[in-house]
Amino acid sequence: MEGRVLIVDDEQGVRKILQRILSGAGYQVDEASDAFQALDRLDTTPPDAMLLDIKMPGMDGLRLMENLRQRGLEIPVVILTGHGDEFTARDCLEAGAASYLTKPPDRSELLLAIRGAVAQGRLARQETTDLEPPPLLGDSLVMRRLREEIARVAPSRATVLVRGESGTGKELVARRLHRLSARAKAAFIRVNCAAIPEELIESELFGHEKGSFTGAHRRQVGKFVQANGGTIFLDEVGDMSLKTQAKVLRVLQDGEVEPVGAGEPFTVDVRVIAATNKDLVHEVTEGRFREDLYYRLAVVMLRTPPLREHAEDIPLLVEHLTRASCEEYNRRLKRWDEAALAELCRYAWPGNVRELKNTVERAVIMELDDVIRSIDFLGAPAAAETSGLLDAPTLHDFQRAAERAYIAHQLELNGWNIAATARAIDTPRSNLYKKIQTYGIEREPS
Protein backbone atom coordinates (compact mmCIF):
# COMPACT_ATOMS: atom_id res chain seq x y z
CA MET A 1 0.00 0.00 0.00
CA GLU A 2 1.41 3.39 -1.05
CA GLY A 3 0.05 5.26 1.98
CA ARG A 4 -3.13 6.64 3.57
CA VAL A 5 -4.75 9.82 2.24
CA LEU A 6 -7.71 11.72 3.70
CA ILE A 7 -9.91 13.57 1.17
CA VAL A 8 -11.83 16.49 2.71
CA ASP A 9 -14.40 18.02 0.37
CA ASP A 10 -18.10 18.85 0.82
CA GLU A 11 -18.92 17.72 -2.76
CA GLN A 12 -19.57 13.98 -2.89
CA GLY A 13 -18.96 13.81 -6.65
CA VAL A 14 -15.51 15.36 -6.31
CA ARG A 15 -14.64 12.96 -3.48
CA LYS A 16 -15.62 9.95 -5.60
CA ILE A 17 -13.46 11.03 -8.55
CA LEU A 18 -10.45 11.69 -6.32
CA GLN A 19 -11.02 8.42 -4.45
CA ARG A 20 -11.04 6.48 -7.74
CA ILE A 21 -7.77 8.07 -8.92
CA LEU A 22 -5.92 7.57 -5.64
CA SER A 23 -7.22 4.05 -4.99
CA GLY A 24 -6.20 3.08 -8.52
CA ALA A 25 -2.68 4.28 -7.73
CA GLY A 26 -2.51 2.05 -4.64
CA TYR A 27 -3.37 4.54 -1.89
CA GLN A 28 -5.69 3.76 1.01
CA VAL A 29 -8.33 6.51 0.98
CA ASP A 30 -10.58 7.93 3.71
CA GLU A 31 -13.19 10.62 3.11
CA ALA A 32 -14.73 13.48 5.11
CA SER A 33 -17.48 15.85 4.01
CA ASP A 34 -16.49 18.73 6.33
CA ALA A 35 -13.73 19.87 8.71
CA PHE A 36 -15.34 18.43 11.85
CA GLN A 37 -15.70 14.99 10.30
CA ALA A 38 -12.10 15.32 9.15
CA LEU A 39 -10.95 15.94 12.72
CA ASP A 40 -12.66 12.73 13.80
CA ARG A 41 -10.97 10.80 10.98
CA LEU A 42 -7.61 12.30 11.97
CA ASP A 43 -8.12 11.10 15.55
CA THR A 44 -9.10 7.52 14.73
CA THR A 45 -7.00 6.77 11.62
CA PRO A 46 -4.29 9.43 11.11
CA PRO A 47 -3.40 9.76 7.41
CA ASP A 48 0.00 10.30 5.86
CA ALA A 49 -1.37 13.24 3.85
CA MET A 50 -4.56 15.22 3.31
CA LEU A 51 -6.24 16.43 0.13
CA LEU A 52 -8.24 19.47 1.25
CA ASP A 53 -10.89 21.66 -0.34
CA ILE A 54 -10.73 25.32 0.69
CA LYS A 55 -14.39 26.36 0.60
CA MET A 56 -16.50 24.30 3.00
CA PRO A 57 -19.39 25.13 5.35
CA GLY A 58 -18.71 25.53 9.09
CA MET A 59 -14.91 25.64 8.99
CA ASP A 60 -13.02 26.31 5.75
CA GLY A 61 -9.82 24.59 4.71
CA LEU A 62 -7.44 27.32 5.86
CA ARG A 63 -9.00 27.37 9.33
CA LEU A 64 -8.71 23.59 9.52
CA MET A 65 -5.01 23.84 8.64
CA GLU A 66 -4.53 26.47 11.33
CA ASN A 67 -6.31 24.17 13.79
CA LEU A 68 -3.95 21.30 12.94
CA ARG A 69 -0.90 23.52 13.35
CA GLN A 70 -2.08 24.71 16.78
CA ARG A 71 -2.42 21.09 17.88
CA GLY A 72 1.04 20.21 16.66
CA LEU A 73 -0.24 17.77 14.01
CA GLU A 74 2.29 17.67 11.18
CA ILE A 75 0.12 16.36 8.34
CA PRO A 76 1.12 17.54 4.84
CA VAL A 77 -1.81 19.11 3.00
CA VAL A 78 -2.43 19.32 -0.74
CA ILE A 79 -5.01 22.05 -1.31
CA LEU A 80 -7.71 22.00 -3.99
CA THR A 81 -9.51 25.18 -5.03
CA GLY A 82 -11.90 26.18 -7.79
CA HIS A 83 -10.70 28.50 -10.54
CA GLY A 84 -12.99 31.26 -9.25
CA ASP A 85 -11.78 31.14 -5.65
CA GLU A 86 -10.21 34.25 -4.18
CA PHE A 87 -7.47 32.15 -2.59
CA THR A 88 -4.14 32.22 -4.42
CA ALA A 89 -1.29 29.74 -4.39
CA ARG A 90 0.60 32.17 -2.18
CA ASP A 91 -2.24 32.24 0.40
CA CYS A 92 -2.29 28.46 0.58
CA LEU A 93 1.46 27.98 0.78
CA GLU A 94 1.78 30.68 3.44
CA ALA A 95 -0.88 28.78 5.44
CA GLY A 96 1.43 25.76 5.40
CA ALA A 97 0.16 23.70 2.45
CA ALA A 98 2.63 21.30 0.85
CA SER A 99 1.24 22.11 -2.61
CA TYR A 100 -1.69 23.73 -4.41
CA LEU A 101 -3.89 22.38 -7.22
CA THR A 102 -6.92 23.80 -9.01
CA LYS A 103 -10.11 21.85 -9.74
CA PRO A 104 -10.34 19.65 -11.65
CA PRO A 105 -6.74 18.55 -11.03
CA ASP A 106 -4.60 16.96 -13.70
CA ARG A 107 -4.19 13.26 -12.78
CA SER A 108 -0.40 13.19 -13.10
CA GLU A 109 0.01 16.44 -11.15
CA LEU A 110 -2.33 15.14 -8.44
CA LEU A 111 -0.40 11.87 -8.04
CA LEU A 112 2.94 13.69 -8.02
CA ALA A 113 1.74 16.08 -5.28
CA ILE A 114 0.25 13.26 -3.19
CA ARG A 115 3.40 11.12 -3.51
CA GLY A 116 5.55 13.94 -2.11
CA ALA A 117 3.06 14.76 0.66
CA VAL A 118 2.78 11.11 1.78
CA ALA A 119 6.56 10.73 1.98
CA GLN A 120 6.79 13.94 4.02
CA GLY A 121 3.91 12.85 6.26
CA ARG A 122 5.38 9.45 7.09
CA LEU A 123 8.60 11.09 8.21
CA ALA A 124 6.75 13.67 10.33
CA ARG A 125 4.53 11.04 11.98
CA GLN A 126 7.58 9.10 13.16
CA GLU A 127 8.68 12.22 15.04
CA THR A 128 5.27 13.19 16.52
CA THR A 129 3.62 9.93 17.60
CA ASP A 130 3.61 11.20 21.19
CA LEU A 131 1.13 13.89 20.15
CA GLU A 132 -1.52 11.43 18.95
CA PRO A 133 -4.54 11.38 21.27
CA PRO A 134 -5.27 8.19 23.24
CA PRO A 135 -7.76 5.85 21.54
CA LEU A 136 -11.48 6.20 22.15
CA LEU A 137 -12.59 3.13 20.29
CA GLY A 138 -15.96 2.15 18.85
CA ASP A 139 -17.80 2.21 15.53
CA SER A 140 -21.25 2.58 17.12
CA LEU A 141 -23.31 5.70 16.51
CA VAL A 142 -22.91 6.92 20.11
CA MET A 143 -19.11 6.61 20.02
CA ARG A 144 -18.81 8.25 16.60
CA ARG A 145 -21.01 11.08 17.84
CA LEU A 146 -18.90 11.47 21.00
CA ARG A 147 -15.66 11.70 18.98
CA GLU A 148 -17.25 14.26 16.67
CA GLU A 149 -18.41 16.35 19.64
CA ILE A 150 -14.89 16.22 21.09
CA ALA A 151 -13.45 17.36 17.76
CA ARG A 152 -15.83 20.34 17.73
CA VAL A 153 -15.18 21.36 21.33
CA ALA A 154 -11.44 20.74 21.62
CA PRO A 155 -10.17 23.81 19.70
CA SER A 156 -12.21 26.21 21.86
CA ARG A 157 -11.35 27.58 25.30
CA ALA A 158 -14.68 26.42 26.72
CA THR A 159 -14.87 24.62 30.05
CA VAL A 160 -16.19 21.07 29.61
CA LEU A 161 -18.11 18.84 32.02
CA VAL A 162 -17.86 15.13 31.21
CA ARG A 163 -20.68 13.02 32.71
CA GLY A 164 -20.80 9.26 32.83
CA GLU A 165 -20.77 6.15 34.95
CA SER A 166 -17.56 4.79 36.48
CA GLY A 167 -15.42 2.97 33.95
CA THR A 168 -16.80 4.65 30.82
CA GLY A 169 -13.62 6.52 29.86
CA LYS A 170 -14.16 10.05 31.18
CA GLU A 171 -10.41 10.59 31.56
CA LEU A 172 -9.83 9.37 27.99
CA VAL A 173 -12.25 12.06 26.83
CA ALA A 174 -10.42 14.70 28.87
CA ARG A 175 -7.01 13.67 27.51
CA ARG A 176 -8.39 13.64 23.98
CA LEU A 177 -9.80 17.16 24.42
CA HIS A 178 -6.36 18.30 25.59
CA ARG A 179 -4.44 16.54 22.80
CA LEU A 180 -6.71 18.01 20.13
CA SER A 181 -6.48 21.56 21.50
CA ALA A 182 -4.00 24.37 20.98
CA ARG A 183 -2.65 23.46 24.45
CA ALA A 184 -1.52 19.98 23.36
CA LYS A 185 2.17 20.67 23.96
CA ALA A 186 1.55 22.12 27.43
CA ALA A 187 0.81 20.25 30.66
CA PHE A 188 -2.19 18.03 31.32
CA ILE A 189 -2.71 17.78 35.09
CA ARG A 190 -5.16 15.26 36.55
CA VAL A 191 -6.64 15.71 40.03
CA ASN A 192 -8.87 13.03 41.58
CA CYS A 193 -11.00 15.12 43.90
CA ALA A 194 -12.38 12.01 45.65
CA ALA A 195 -8.93 10.65 46.50
CA ILE A 196 -7.55 13.73 48.29
CA PRO A 197 -8.49 14.20 51.97
CA GLU A 198 -10.71 17.22 52.64
CA GLU A 199 -8.04 18.97 54.72
CA LEU A 200 -5.46 18.71 51.91
CA ILE A 201 -7.41 19.39 48.73
CA GLU A 202 -7.08 23.21 48.85
CA SER A 203 -3.33 22.91 49.30
CA GLU A 204 -3.17 20.32 46.51
CA LEU A 205 -5.14 22.46 44.05
CA PHE A 206 -3.85 25.93 44.90
CA GLY A 207 -0.54 25.30 46.69
CA HIS A 208 0.72 26.65 49.99
CA GLU A 209 3.59 28.69 51.39
CA LYS A 210 6.12 27.25 53.79
CA GLY A 211 4.86 27.51 57.38
CA SER A 212 1.31 28.43 56.36
CA PHE A 213 -0.06 25.60 58.53
CA THR A 214 1.19 22.83 60.80
CA GLY A 215 3.20 20.39 58.72
CA ALA A 216 3.84 22.81 55.85
CA HIS A 217 7.63 22.37 55.96
CA ARG A 218 8.14 23.50 52.40
CA ARG A 219 6.43 25.54 49.74
CA GLN A 220 4.10 23.53 47.47
CA VAL A 221 3.13 24.53 43.95
CA GLY A 222 -0.57 23.81 43.37
CA LYS A 223 -2.04 21.84 40.49
CA PHE A 224 -3.58 24.93 38.88
CA VAL A 225 -0.16 26.54 38.68
CA GLN A 226 1.40 23.35 37.34
CA ALA A 227 -1.26 23.36 34.61
CA ASN A 228 -0.64 27.01 33.66
CA GLY A 229 -0.85 27.28 29.87
CA GLY A 230 -2.34 23.80 29.65
CA THR A 231 -5.31 21.81 30.95
CA ILE A 232 -6.42 20.71 34.42
CA PHE A 233 -8.73 17.71 34.70
CA LEU A 234 -10.86 17.71 37.87
CA ASP A 235 -12.02 14.10 38.15
CA GLU A 236 -14.93 13.33 40.50
CA VAL A 237 -15.54 17.07 40.85
CA GLY A 238 -18.82 16.38 42.67
CA ASP A 239 -16.82 15.28 45.74
CA MET A 240 -15.36 18.75 46.41
CA SER A 241 -16.36 20.60 49.55
CA LEU A 242 -18.33 23.83 49.22
CA LYS A 243 -15.32 25.78 50.49
CA THR A 244 -13.06 24.36 47.77
CA GLN A 245 -15.79 24.89 45.16
CA ALA A 246 -15.75 28.61 45.97
CA LYS A 247 -12.02 28.80 45.23
CA VAL A 248 -12.36 26.86 41.99
CA LEU A 249 -15.13 29.25 40.96
CA ARG A 250 -12.76 32.16 41.51
CA VAL A 251 -10.21 30.60 39.16
CA LEU A 252 -12.88 30.13 36.50
CA GLN A 253 -14.24 33.65 36.90
CA ASP A 254 -11.05 35.66 37.29
CA GLY A 255 -8.20 33.28 36.45
CA GLU A 256 -6.81 33.96 39.96
CA VAL A 257 -5.16 31.44 42.27
CA GLU A 258 -4.30 32.18 45.89
CA PRO A 259 -2.02 29.63 47.60
CA VAL A 260 -2.71 28.92 51.26
CA GLY A 261 -0.78 31.50 53.30
CA ALA A 262 0.26 33.58 50.28
CA GLY A 263 -1.92 36.59 51.10
CA GLU A 264 -2.38 37.65 47.49
CA PRO A 265 -3.49 35.91 44.30
CA PHE A 266 -1.77 35.59 40.96
CA THR A 267 -3.14 34.90 37.49
CA VAL A 268 -3.07 31.59 35.61
CA ASP A 269 -4.23 30.59 32.13
CA VAL A 270 -5.78 27.13 32.52
CA ARG A 271 -8.48 25.27 30.67
CA VAL A 272 -10.69 23.31 33.07
CA ILE A 273 -12.22 19.95 32.20
CA ALA A 274 -14.29 18.35 34.96
CA ALA A 275 -15.83 14.90 35.26
CA THR A 276 -18.39 13.29 37.51
CA ASN A 277 -20.57 10.21 37.80
CA LYS A 278 -22.99 12.15 40.02
CA ASP A 279 -26.14 14.00 39.02
CA LEU A 280 -24.84 17.52 39.74
CA VAL A 281 -28.27 19.09 39.19
CA HIS A 282 -29.53 16.89 42.03
CA GLU A 283 -26.45 17.82 44.10
CA VAL A 284 -27.23 21.52 43.54
CA THR A 285 -30.83 20.96 44.64
CA GLU A 286 -29.60 19.22 47.81
CA GLY A 287 -27.21 22.10 48.57
CA ARG A 288 -24.06 20.02 48.14
CA PHE A 289 -22.83 21.71 44.97
CA ARG A 290 -22.75 25.40 44.08
CA GLU A 291 -25.15 26.35 41.33
CA ASP A 292 -22.87 29.11 40.00
CA LEU A 293 -19.95 26.67 39.77
CA TYR A 294 -22.12 24.09 38.01
CA TYR A 295 -23.02 26.57 35.27
CA ARG A 296 -19.38 27.63 34.94
CA LEU A 297 -18.27 24.01 34.52
CA ALA A 298 -21.12 22.96 32.25
CA VAL A 299 -20.47 25.41 29.39
CA VAL A 300 -20.23 22.30 27.24
CA MET A 301 -21.42 18.91 28.49
CA LEU A 302 -20.26 15.60 27.07
CA ARG A 303 -21.62 12.20 28.09
CA THR A 304 -19.64 8.96 28.04
CA PRO A 305 -22.13 6.17 27.30
CA PRO A 306 -22.18 3.01 29.44
CA LEU A 307 -21.00 -0.09 27.62
CA ARG A 308 -24.51 -1.59 27.60
CA GLU A 309 -25.56 1.27 25.28
CA HIS A 310 -22.98 0.34 22.64
CA ALA A 311 -22.55 -3.39 23.11
CA GLU A 312 -21.89 -3.72 19.37
CA ASP A 313 -18.42 -2.26 20.08
CA ILE A 314 -17.47 -5.10 22.46
CA PRO A 315 -15.75 -7.31 19.81
CA LEU A 316 -13.58 -4.37 18.69
CA LEU A 317 -12.76 -3.44 22.29
CA VAL A 318 -11.95 -7.06 23.17
CA GLU A 319 -9.58 -7.32 20.20
CA HIS A 320 -7.79 -4.11 21.19
CA LEU A 321 -7.59 -4.97 24.90
CA THR A 322 -6.41 -8.52 24.19
CA ARG A 323 -3.59 -7.27 21.98
CA ALA A 324 -2.55 -4.69 24.59
CA SER A 325 -2.62 -7.25 27.43
CA CYS A 326 -0.62 -9.80 25.42
CA GLU A 327 2.03 -7.16 24.77
CA GLU A 328 2.09 -6.07 28.41
CA TYR A 329 2.43 -9.62 29.79
CA ASN A 330 4.70 -10.88 26.98
CA ARG A 331 2.20 -13.48 25.77
CA ARG A 332 1.67 -14.79 22.26
CA LEU A 333 -1.28 -13.03 20.67
CA LYS A 334 -4.46 -14.82 21.76
CA ARG A 335 -7.85 -14.91 20.11
CA TRP A 336 -11.33 -15.52 21.54
CA ASP A 337 -13.50 -18.54 20.84
CA GLU A 338 -16.79 -17.47 19.23
CA ALA A 339 -18.89 -18.82 22.11
CA ALA A 340 -16.74 -17.02 24.71
CA LEU A 341 -16.88 -13.77 22.75
CA ALA A 342 -20.67 -14.10 22.44
CA GLU A 343 -20.88 -14.50 26.22
CA LEU A 344 -18.89 -11.29 26.66
CA CYS A 345 -21.33 -9.53 24.33
CA ARG A 346 -24.35 -10.76 26.32
CA TYR A 347 -23.10 -9.62 29.72
CA ALA A 348 -24.45 -6.30 31.08
CA TRP A 349 -21.04 -4.91 32.23
CA PRO A 350 -22.05 -2.78 35.24
CA GLY A 351 -18.36 -1.84 35.57
CA ASN A 352 -18.31 -0.76 31.89
CA VAL A 353 -15.10 -0.74 29.82
CA ARG A 354 -12.94 -0.85 32.95
CA GLU A 355 -14.55 -4.14 33.97
CA LEU A 356 -14.17 -5.47 30.42
CA LYS A 357 -10.47 -4.54 30.50
CA ASN A 358 -9.97 -6.39 33.79
CA THR A 359 -11.79 -9.46 32.43
CA VAL A 360 -9.71 -9.56 29.25
CA GLU A 361 -6.52 -9.05 31.25
CA ARG A 362 -7.39 -11.99 33.55
CA ALA A 363 -8.12 -14.17 30.51
CA VAL A 364 -4.75 -13.38 28.94
CA ILE A 365 -2.94 -14.17 32.19
CA MET A 366 -4.85 -17.33 33.11
CA GLU A 367 -5.44 -18.99 29.72
CA LEU A 368 -2.45 -21.10 28.58
CA ASP A 369 -3.77 -21.87 25.09
CA ASP A 370 -3.74 -19.44 22.19
CA VAL A 371 -7.56 -19.55 22.05
CA ILE A 372 -9.56 -18.21 25.01
CA ARG A 373 -12.59 -20.45 25.48
CA SER A 374 -13.52 -20.23 29.16
CA ILE A 375 -14.63 -17.16 31.07
CA ASP A 376 -15.67 -18.71 34.35
CA PHE A 377 -13.47 -16.08 35.99
CA LEU A 378 -15.51 -13.26 34.45
CA GLY A 379 -16.14 -11.64 37.82
CA ALA A 380 -19.85 -11.18 37.11
CA PRO A 381 -22.10 -10.69 40.14
CA ALA A 382 -23.80 -13.87 41.25
CA ALA A 383 -27.24 -14.67 39.84
CA ALA A 384 -28.93 -14.06 43.17
CA GLU A 385 -27.50 -10.56 43.23
CA THR A 386 -28.53 -9.67 39.69
CA SER A 387 -31.84 -11.45 39.34
CA GLY A 388 -33.86 -8.36 40.25
CA LEU A 389 -31.81 -5.73 38.40
CA LEU A 390 -33.99 -5.64 35.30
CA ASP A 391 -37.06 -5.09 37.49
CA ALA A 392 -35.70 -1.77 38.81
CA PRO A 393 -38.41 0.92 38.42
CA THR A 394 -36.05 3.61 37.06
CA LEU A 395 -32.68 3.82 35.31
CA HIS A 396 -31.24 5.50 38.41
CA ASP A 397 -32.40 2.59 40.60
CA PHE A 398 -30.93 0.10 38.14
CA GLN A 399 -27.56 1.88 38.11
CA ARG A 400 -27.40 1.95 41.91
CA ALA A 401 -28.39 -1.70 42.22
CA ALA A 402 -25.89 -2.79 39.55
CA GLU A 403 -23.07 -0.80 41.15
CA ARG A 404 -23.87 -2.21 44.59
CA ALA A 405 -23.90 -5.79 43.27
CA TYR A 406 -20.64 -5.23 41.39
CA ILE A 407 -18.82 -3.78 44.42
CA ALA A 408 -20.13 -6.53 46.73
CA HIS A 409 -18.94 -9.22 44.32
CA GLN A 410 -15.50 -7.64 43.85
CA LEU A 411 -15.09 -7.43 47.64
CA GLU A 412 -15.86 -11.16 47.85
CA LEU A 413 -13.38 -11.94 45.06
CA ASN A 414 -10.65 -10.03 46.90
CA GLY A 415 -11.38 -11.47 50.35
CA TRP A 416 -12.80 -8.16 51.57
CA ASN A 417 -9.35 -6.57 51.32
CA ILE A 418 -10.28 -2.92 50.65
CA ALA A 419 -6.91 -1.93 49.19
CA ALA A 420 -6.81 -4.96 46.85
CA THR A 421 -10.41 -4.38 45.75
CA ALA A 422 -9.76 -0.70 45.07
CA ARG A 423 -6.78 -1.64 42.89
CA ALA A 424 -8.75 -4.35 41.09
CA ILE A 425 -11.59 -2.00 40.09
CA ASP A 426 -9.27 0.99 39.60
CA THR A 427 -10.84 3.38 42.09
CA PRO A 428 -9.37 5.25 45.08
CA ARG A 429 -9.77 3.56 48.46
CA SER A 430 -11.55 6.64 49.79
CA ASN A 431 -14.11 6.34 46.99
CA LEU A 432 -14.58 2.62 47.67
CA TYR A 433 -15.11 3.25 51.39
CA LYS A 434 -17.69 5.89 50.49
CA LYS A 435 -19.54 3.51 48.16
CA ILE A 436 -19.58 0.73 50.80
CA GLN A 437 -21.04 3.17 53.32
CA THR A 438 -23.56 4.62 50.85
CA TYR A 439 -24.88 1.20 49.81
CA GLY A 440 -24.65 -0.32 53.30
CA ILE A 441 -22.58 -3.25 52.05
CA GLU A 442 -21.61 -5.60 54.85
CA ARG A 443 -19.65 -8.84 54.91
CA GLU A 444 -21.75 -11.92 55.54
CA PRO A 445 -20.67 -13.81 58.69
CA SER A 446 -18.71 -16.95 57.81
- Per residue in 77-133, pLDDT tens? 998 887 555 656 666 777 778 888 888 888 888 998 898 888 887 766 555 444 455
pTM for this one? 0.60
Q: Which parts of the chain register pLDDT below 70?
A: 1, 43-44, 70-73, 83-91, 123-134, 199, 208-219, 260-263, 376-391, 444-446
Q: What are phi and psi of 81, to 5 degrees?
A: -135, 155
Q: In this structure, how many other beta carbons lie within 10 angstroms of the beta carbon of residue 199? A: 9
Return left, alpha or beta for 426; rule: phi > 0 is left, psi -120 to 50 is alpha, else beta: left
What is the reported pLDDT for 83? 57
What is the reported pLDDT for 217? 53
What is the reported pLDDT for 260? 67
What is the reported pLDDT for 186? 87
Rounded to whole angstroms, how far apart are CA atoms 261 and 350? 44
Is residue 277 within 8 Å of residue 270, measured between CB atoms? no
What is the reported pLDDT for 213? 54
**Residues 6 or more apart in contact with residue 342 via CB below 8 angstroms:** none
* Strand-pair partners of 31: 7
Rounded to whole angstroms, how far apart are CA atoms 275 and 238? 8
* Strand-pair partners of 220: 208
What is the reported pLDDT for 21? 93
What is the reported pLDDT for 377? 38
Task: State the greatest distance between any 2 C-alpha atoms of the chain, in Å, as a whole number.
Answer: 83
Rounded to whole angstroms, how far apart are CA atoms 55 and 366? 55
How confident is the model over 38-53, as pLDDT tens digits? 887 776 677 889 999 8
Kindly list the structural domains of the chain, giving each domain's residue range(s) and its CATH number in brackets, ordered by start: 4-130 (3.40.50.2300), 141-304 (3.40.50.300), 308-380 (1.10.8.60), 382-446 (1.10.10.60)
